[in-house]
Amino acid sequence: MYKDLIETDHHIRKDELVVMLVGQPNTGKTTIFNALTHSHFSTVNYPGSTVDYSVGELRVSAGFKAQIVDTPGILSLTPHSPDEEVSVSSLFHHPEYGVPDVVVIMADATQLSRQIYLARQVRAAGFRCVMAVTMTDLLEKRGMKLDSGKLSILAGMPAIPVHGIRKQGLQELAEAIFKIYSSTPNPVIIRPDAGTIETVAEQYRVAGEIERSVIIPSGKQTLEEALRTVTPHPDETTLKLDKLLLHPVWGLVMFLVIMSGFFTAIFWLAAPLMDVVDLGFSALGTWAGSTLGTGWFSDFISGGLITGFGAVMVFVPQIMILFLLMTILEDSGYLARAAMLVDKPLAAIGLNGRSFVPLLSGFACAIPAIMAARTIPNTRERMLTILIIPLMSCSARLPVYALLLAFLIPADKPWLGGLVLTGLYLAGLISGAIVSALISKWTKQNEESSFILELPAYRFPQISIIFKNTLYKSWLYLRKAGATILVISILIWGLTYFPIPEHHDASSPSGHLQDSYAAQLGKVLEPVMQPMGFDWRVGVSLITAFAAREVFVSSLALTLNVTGDEETLQGSILSAMETSVNEKTGLPLFTTATILGLLFYFIIAMQCISTLAIARKETNGWKIPLLQLGVYTLVAYIGAVAIVQGLRLMGIA
């Protein structure tokens, strides 16, 4: 009857309670977690998996210490994907904290019957439970209110209405947690089987009866009217918006408009901030060069570290805006609508709406996007999603796109850059669609594919939470990319600076670039680069970009011997690009044709070695990673050569 019987062994930290937040997606669980911990938390992986959870210290004054663990959302204790299996298993025995002392079950008051089903499952498993009821304000807008006292009796656990944004009910929730812990002996935890269709249906029937008993009309009413069974109405604002945003025609039009505005804003809004960062690094490089004088150490600091690191840091404002806008789309409730809209188009290429969020996450970074594919229960669709995620233009490509577009597009037309940037991202989506469609045509579907999606009510995102999440994600990006950029910048500087010839001008330490190790390595690759219109310098930069795409910019700055003569660092790089000539052909190195070829290469080519590593881990083999590396890189190279040579034949240099 039961999968396993688990004796409570308590958590590792004996002096603190472990409180685990459990709930279905879109119940406000993360908002309550942030309110309880005051956003002082860390995010880590479950051991042996790629599923994230957050843990923070309880900051609400309650007379006791507790670690609050925010788990990924689950629909029930019966997992349907690898991601859900990790989440459910951790509830019964967390890899770090063991069995939780108290489980707080999040429940959306506007969809209470679905939440009660999960709550009754958790309580039946033996946990000490408290129910935190959210969205009561939305319920009141519909002319209803919650009888929390009656719900506590019928659900068999304290039910506390809470509001994370307004910080309401948090003290009562903390007190209920401590009371249920101190008044209940150590439980024996039982993990139940999935149950039959009949038993699940009966549980939902009971949950529906409880919902109809505890949600009553608000306002003036008699006792008889208050006890009358009432079914809550849908949110009127949500219904009105969905008539437009989920319309089969206008919904897709609005989707394209929103996505176009999304990418245009990345290019346009970031421009002033990029100028500030650019000026800062340029001034720092000039100061370091003048202060340290001439010689290898001065060149290492000003031309190696500052130029190399600054060339990428200039684009951090664009990356922050990318994270900011993605968070707004998610928190507002539109992301779920977008997944529903693209379900049919995705079905045409062998996927379904579940693939949308991992694919959209690929615009930020391929690594968490590939991890997010674990939520797809169908094995074939999960593998296919992982295969095409590297074709989504990640944030690491953004510095490359921005530099190359700045070369092509006048500075006084940022809107044009935004439109072209949108086209680049669409090109990645179209490429992924083509690959998925071709593979779906050649392979058979052996598993059933289903797509069930909850559409949450539209909400106005909480500004403070959005900014905190944006800063946190940006910091994670800097922490991950910063070390790589520094190491590669130092390596490239060393390769471009050494060996030092016997007779050289000390005032121009990089004047012997032609004799450097980088030149010697690059000239081996030069025959491959010539059809693309480039020489060894771009070849070296493309190799280093495999460590991290954004390193291409700093590597190019070093191999082009950027001196920082211009007012800004980016201006110096662009000036160097404009004056550089191909050492073999004597033709300009960067032209409309070669830039367009390079853009195509970066759209298609495999992103970085970290993406390969995570793809191998998630697919449990080398087949898909090697396909990504070999096929994508080859197609990228052939396509780039075809674009460059084709445009030259048409007279476009």
Output the DSSP codes for 310-352: HHHHTTHHHHHHHHHHHHHHHHHTHHHHHHHHTHHHHHTTT--
DSSP 133: E
Token pair for 411: 């500075």
Q: What is the pLDDT of residue 645?
A: 94
SS3 535: coil
Instruction: Check if the beta carbon of residue 485 is closer than 8 Å to that of residue 551.
Output: yes
Q: How far apart are CA 393 and CA 413, in angstroms?
A: 22
Burial grade of 490 (CB within 10 A; 0-12, 13-18, 19 or more): middle
Element of type H or E holding 528: helix 517-529
State residue 631's pLDDT score.
Answer: 93
| Structure-token pair, residue 248 | 């089969």
pLDDT of residue 222: 44
8 Å CB contact between 566 and 575: yes
For 3, 43, 99, 577, the CA distances from 125, given in Å and listed in that order, are 11, 27, 12, 66
- 175-to-67, 171, 172, 195, 399 alpha-carbon distances in Å: 15, 6, 5, 34, 49
Domain ranges across the chain: 2-226, 250-443+462-470, 472-649
Single-letter code of the amino acid located at 326: M
Give the distance from CA 315 to its chain's centroid.
Answer: 18
Residue of 137, 61, 48 whose CA lies nearest to 94: 48
Q: How many H-runs (helices) and E-runs (strands) does the chain carry?
A: 29, 11
> Are β-strands 66-70 and 52-57 bridged in parallel, bridged antiparallel, or unpaired?
antiparallel
CA geometry: angle 72, 73, 77, nearest 5 deg: 105
Type of residue found at 298: S
Q: Which CATH number fits domain 2-226: 3.40.50.300, 3.40.1050.10, 3.40.50.970, 3.40.640.10?
A: 3.40.50.300
DSSP helix/strand/coil, 599: helix
Alpha carbons 264 and 272: distance in angstroms, whole number: 14
Helix axes 398-408, 316-332, angle to 10 degrees: 120
Q: Positive or negative, the Cα torsion across 599, 605, 608, 610? A: positive
CA-to-CA distance for 462 and 471, rounded, in angstroms?
14
Q: How far is CA 189 from CA 23, 124, 126, 505, 580, in A?
A: 18, 9, 5, 76, 70
pLDDT for the residue numbered 565: 56
442: tokens are 């050649």
Q: Who's near 15: CB < 8 A, 6+ residues apart?
A: 65
98: DSSP letter: B
- Which residue intervals of 397-500 are DSSP H helices? 398-408, 414-442, 463-497
Who's near 398: CB < 8 A, 6+ residues apart?
Answer: 266, 315, 318, 319, 322, 550
Taking each helix axis from N to C end, the angle separating 316-332 and 271-292, rounded to the nearest 10 degrees, works out to 150
Integer-rounded Cα radius of gyration of the chain? 28
pLDDT of residue 76: 84
Q: Could you list the mean pLDDT of each consecutive 10-residue stretch along the chain, which spans 653 residues?
A: 36 68 82 79 47 77 81 80 76 83 90 85 90 85 82 90 84 90 84 77 84 75 45 66 85 83 74 80 81 79 75 74 80 79 80 79 77 74 89 86 88 76 86 88 64 68 77 75 73 75 54 69 85 88 80 82 67 87 87 94 84 80 89 94 94 82
Identity at 89, one-letter amino acid code: S
